[in-house]
Amino acid sequence: MKKFIAVIAGLTVAFLLIIAGTFLVAKNFGNPDVFNLSLDGAKELIRSLSNVGLILVIVSHAVGSLAAGVTVGRILKEDTMNVGLTVGAILTILGLVNMVLIPTYPEWFYLDFIVFIPLSMFGANYTSKL
């Protein structure tokens, strides 16, 4: 049960940071006026982002993944690598779903998938040793 709570807490922290980071990037490097709560609004927002903005979105994904791992490590003190891997895998799958639903990302943006698992595992493992 503690592992389940750690996964939910880690994902919650990751989602909050990723959403905040993405909207901050959209405000400064895109056109947030085109966004609405529909798939077309999200597509238009992604189209409005510059390459620097897209790189910063990847950075927000990295920060969210690392924070999710740190959250897992703070809750659990053992078996953190497996739970960190679980959180990273869930974030990777959700990232893939995002890329399929919003196919307006450039091809190089698929590099985004290399951040979720390693950073969530690193955060979980490193924090558990503190």
Q: How far apart are CA 95 and CA 114, in angstroms?
A: 11
pLDDT tens digits along 20-42: 998 899 888 877 777 676 677 77
Query: Can you tell me the distance from the alpha carbon of 16 to that of 71, in angstroms, rounded to the nearest whole number?
Result: 13
What is the arithmetic mean of pLDDT over 2-19? 94
Closest among 45, 3, 43 to 25, alpha carbons compared? 45
* 89: exposed, middle or buried (Cβ count in 10 Å: 0-12, 13-18, 19+): middle
> pTM of the prediction?
0.89
Q: What is the pLDDT of residues 54-90, one digit of tens each?
A: 999 999 999 999 999 999 999 998 888 889 999 999 9
What's the pLDDT at 130? 67
